[in-house]
Amino acid sequence: MQFMSLIMTVFPEWILTHGAASVVVVPLMFAVLTALNPNAKIAWATVLAVTALCVFTSLGLLLQVASHGPIHYNMGGWVPPLGIGYYVDGLNAPILLLISVVAFLCTIYALPSVAAEVEPKKKGPFYAAFLISFAGLLGMVVTADAFNVFVFLEVSSISTYVLVGMGASRDRRALTSSFNYLIMGSIGATFFVVGIGFLYMQTGTLNMMDIARVLQDIGPNDRVVQLAFAFIVIGLGLKLAMFPLHMWLPGAYAYAPSFFTAFLAATATKAALYLLLRFTFTVFDPSWDFVTTALMILLAGLGILGMLAASLQAIFQNDLRRVLAYSSVAQVGYMLLGIGMATTLGLTAGYLHMINHAMMKGALFIAAGAFWYRFGITQVCDMRGLGKTMPWTMAGFTLAGISLIGVPGTAGFVSKLTLVRAAAENGWWWAIGVIVVTSILAIVYIGRIIEQAYFQPVPEIDGKPVVRNEAPYTMLIPLWIMALSALAFGINAEWTTSLAEAAAHVLDAGPNTIIPGAHDVVPSVIGGH
């Protein structure tokens, strides 16, 4: 506690009061300034400064939530449910920090990567679209108004479609992947907005806390409420790549520019998963029958199917980034399994895996981009001898890879162990079996890559072996920060586990109906400040 109040003195008052809004507003405003900027270096520096500021702000928000409790921020001074409120508590503060940190690290990585992959004239707008996507993700996480979620969901998705399409200069399949993602993503977002519409029909309000309050009065037997839940779960499920709604993910991750894939893989599905948690546990009541059935059968069941199917498919891919993309679908399956159990330990496991997976996948995709940057490598069979030609990069990849498998001492092991403990506590022995089987499958697809890199001879050009050509420092630093954090959070998982437990606590508390200052909503608020 004292340590935290000491740190809090570092943060200026203004950031703590307006932090919830500034994490969204600052990237948006600087996005338009970056779009106008013809100089790529200045654009990159602006993005770096903005993401650093967001890291600082979200850290301040996290510390404030840890010491003072949830933050309610009323946009425009209007108290919800009249106005839109932003709400930061133990569930979304770690995710804000996660998204900001990943964006910052990926921006360091972007300097050489974007220079190689995006045409010079388009770099300013490219960084601008990235900032808009970043702001959209942060907005999705921080808002407490259901329709505002849809707006930010679409803001981040539309900029993502553009950014995925920018990979076309490297591989023309980026265009069709982006189109596919556009169609599926728009259908998902529209399903979500239909769900919100049904909720509004029955409750008359859009603020999440107020909806929870009215739903408590309505009860679980109302068919419109059940329908709203179905639409919201499917809509969000499409965004978080729940099997079988994951078909957009391999193409989008494989052919987007590597900087953006690293960012997207580590953040987009996590934000959608947070929204699923928020809606299922704190808006709809998890003690209701239809919610429990959906959790156990739909989420956990599809999670299991996703784990098995995607891990199997990952084994048979030859494109490195497609392997990692299918692996992401499998990891989302782990998270859904944890959430589907709906027990405290299960929710902790799912949330912990979210945080750990972001670090691991970010490192893996950064390394994959570095391989392309130096040697133009996209296929696994071309990765022969990379252990000798790019030792540091490959070592970082290996570290993140063994964390993905779940070797003891790494972050992946901690979250998988928590998941196994949660399954055992719940009596789901078959789930433990599936977790073990998919870990073995992970050994196969990661092991295949490591075997190619370390145990195959270095390829020869004109009879001479390829010379060692390490990735530049701006690529190695974020790679190793993420890989080392995967290791560090495996050796000492106290901090991440405490964050996950705090989040599970918020979810266990059930529907959240508290809106401070909402009891006196009278039109006299106009002019009276």
Partner 1 sequence: MSELFEHFNFAVVIVLMMVGLYVVFASNNMIKKLVGLSVFQTSVFLLYISMSNVDGGQPPIIAEEDLHVAEGGGHDVVADGVAEGAHQAAEVLYSNPLPHVLILTAIVVGVATLAIGLALVVRIREVYGTIEEDEIDALDYEINLEGAAE
Partner 2 sequence: MSPHVILRVVSKLLIPLIALFALYVQFHGDFGPGGGFQAGVIFASAIILYALIFGLDEAKRAVPPSWVRLGMTLGVLIYGGTGVATWALGGEFLNYTVFAPESTHAAGQHWGIFAVELGVLFTVTSAMVAIFYAFGSRAPELTDEDW
Nearer to partner 2, 427 or 527 (CB): 527
Nearer to partner 1, 179 or 290 (CB): 179
Site for partner 2, residues 6 to 25, rule: CB under 8 A: 18, 21-22, 25
Is residue 498 a contact point for partner 1 (CB under 8 A)? no
The Cα 225–Cα 174 span in angstroms is 39
User: Are residues 469 and 393 in contact, defined by beta-carbon separation less than 8 angstroms?
Assistant: no
End-to-end Cα spacing for the chain:
34
Nearest to 326 by CA among 406, 250, 223, 393: 250
Half-sphere exposure in the Cβ direction for 388 (13 Å, CA): 13
What is the smallest separation between the CB atom of 220 and partner 1, expressed in angstroms?
Answer: 22
The Cα 486–Cα 490 span in angstroms is 6
The Cα 199–Cα 203 span in angstroms is 6
Tokens of 125: 């707008």
Nearer to partner 1, 318 or 469 (CB): 318
Q: Which residue type occupies 147?
A: F
User: Are residues 91 and 506 in contact, defined by beta-carbon separation less than 8 angstroms?
Assistant: yes
Binding-site member from 29, 151, 443, 484 for partner 2 (CB under 8 A)? 29
List phi, psi (to 5°) of 35.
-65, -35
Listed in sequence order, the DSSP H helices in 37-169 are 40-68, 93-117, 123-142, 146-165
What is the smallest separation between the CB atom of 31 and partner 2, expressed in angstroms?
Answer: 8
Q: Which residue type occupies 186?
A: S
Distance of CA 186 to the CA centre of its chain: 19
Site for partner 1, residues 327 to 346, rule: CB under 8 A: none
Tokens of 174: 């980026």
Is residue 316 a contact point for partner 1 (CB under 8 A)? yes
- Give the contacts of 364 (CB within 8 A, at least 6 positions apart): 324, 397, 400, 401, 404
**How far, in Å, are 7, 117, 295, 422 from residue 219 at the CA level?**
44, 53, 18, 29
Interface with partner 2 (CB under 8 A), residue total: 19
By a kind-dependent CB cut-off of 5 to 8 A, residue 194 interacts, out of partner 2, partner 1, none, with partner 1
Is residue 357 a contact point for partner 1 (CB under 8 A)? no
By a kind-dependent CB cut-off of 5 to 8 A, residue 165 interacts, out of partner 2, partner 1, none, with partner 1
What is the smallest separation between the CB atom of 93 and partner 1, expressed in angstroms?
Answer: 27
Task: Give bridge partners of residue 74 from the DSSP assignment.
Answer: 85
Nearer to partner 1, 55 or 314 (CB): 314
Give the burial class of 462: count Cβ atoms within 10 A of its Cβ; 0-12 exposed, 13-18 middle, 19 or more buried: exposed
Is residue 526 a contact point for partner 1 (CB under 8 A)? yes
User: Are residues 272 and 239 in contact, defined by beta-carbon separation less than 8 angstroms?
Assistant: yes
For CA atoms 402, 406, 408, 413, the dihedral sign is positive
Is residue 42 a contact point for partner 2 (CB under 8 A)? no
What is the smallest separation between the CB atom of 526 and partner 2, expressed in angstroms?
Answer: 5
Is residue 176 a contact point for partner 1 (CB under 8 A)? yes
The Cα 1–Cα 497 span in angstroms is 17
Is residue 158 a contact point for partner 1 (CB under 8 A)? yes
Q: Which stretch binds partner 1 (CB under 8 A): 159-167, 208-216, 359-367, 485-493?
A: 159-167
What is the smallest separation between the CB atom of 366 and partner 1, expressed in angstroms?
Answer: 21
- Look at the chain and count its residues: 529
Site for partner 2, residues 47 to 106, rule: CB under 8 A: 73-77
Q: Which stretch binds partner 1 (CB under 8 A): 133-141, 195-203, 276-284, 355-363?
A: 195-203
What is the smallest separation between the CB atom of 377 and partner 1, expressed in angstroms?
Answer: 13
By a kind-dependent CB cut-off of 5 to 8 A, residue 437 interacts, out of partner 2, partner 1, none, with none
Is residue 186 a contact point for partner 1 (CB under 8 A)? yes
Nearest to 401 by CA among 315, 334, 486: 486
What is the smallest separation between the CB atom of 528 and partner 2, expressed in angstroms?
Answer: 9
Binding-site member from 194, 298, 407, 432 for partner 1 (CB under 8 A)? 194
Is residue 375 a contact point for partner 1 (CB under 8 A)? no
Q: Which stretch binds partner 2 (CB under 8 A): 31-39, 109-117, 233-241, 451-459?
A: 31-39
List phi, psi (to 5°) of 417.
-65, -40
Is residue 45 a contact point for partner 2 (CB under 8 A)? no
- Return the number of other C-beta atoms located less than 10 Å from residue 26's C-beta: 19
What is the smallest separation between the CB atom of 83 and partner 2, expressed in angstroms?
Answer: 10
What is the smallest separation between the CB atom of 445 and partner 1, expressed in angstroms?
Answer: 12
Nearer to partner 1, 29 or 194 (CB): 194
Q: Which residue type occupies 207?
A: N
Q: Write each residue from 488 to 527 as x if it is in contact with partner 2 (CB under 8 A), else as -, in one continuous string.
A: --------------------------------------xx
| Strand 464-465 relative to strand 71-74, pairing | unpaired
Binding site for partner 1 (CB under 8 A): 147, 150-151, 154, 158, 161-162, 165, 168, 172-173, 175-176, 178-179, 182-183, 186-187, 189-190, 193-194, 197, 200-201, 206, 316-319, 322, 379, 523-524, 526-528
Binding site for partner 2 (CB under 8 A): 18, 21-22, 25, 28-29, 31-33, 35-36, 73-77, 526-527, 529
